[in-house]
Amino acid sequence: MRVITGTARGRRLETLEGDDVRPTTDRIKEAVFSIIQFQIEGRSFLDLFAGSGQMGIEALSRGAKEAVFVDNAKKSVETVKRNLQSTKLEQNAKVYQTDFKSFLSMNTRRFDIAFLDPPYKTGVLQEALALVSEAMNETGVIIAENPLDEKILSSYGEFVLDRQYRYGKIKITTFRHKDYQQ
């Protein structure tokens, strides 16, 4: 796994091992950043369920003002920190080892872009979408990665389904504020 483009282009990222880990594929990562390519620079990015941190690191490499990485697993947080050091992007990053509910309940900052890729078919995505919508700027976008057969609602808080993209057995869904549909 590598950083696709930007200041850290081509840098190899460390990945996590194990059955409970499912890194976002390069194809999906490229698709996500194609969707938001003109909305990254100078923006605040939330990588909720960060894993190795590849999505937030890609955002920083492409000019995001800051990236916040949240993961409950100690191994994930350690991997994110090592990846940030190796890409030299740690100065604009904050890393939290906590579950998404705790983070979002204590969080006071607003995000422009949030990427959510929690464990599939556990109900966590639906719960996280409802909570993360409260932490978003009105002009922001929430991006969810989930399997095709996992049901999600068409709105969470003030954020409504914008578009869905299918990539094999995976779908990427974007949500935007009801007053800022593109």
Please state, in angstroms and rounded to a whole number, the distance separating the CA atoms of residues 25 and 90.
Answer: 23
8 A C-beta contact, residue 154 and residue 160: yes
pLDDT given at position 121: 84
pLDDT given at position 145: 94
**What mean pLDDT do residues 26-51 have?**
93
Residue with tokens 């409504």: 160
Span 35-177: which CATH code? Answer: 3.40.50.150
Q: What is the DSSP string of 84-106?
A: HHHHT-GGGEEEEES-HHHHHHH
Write down the pTM of the prediction. 0.93
pLDDT of 20 higher than 70: no
Instruction: Name the pLDDT band for 41 (thresholds 50, 70, 90).
Output: very high
**What mean pLDDT do residues 62-85 have?**
96
| pLDDT tens column, 137-180 | 999 999 999 999 999 999 999 999 999 999 999 999 999 999 88
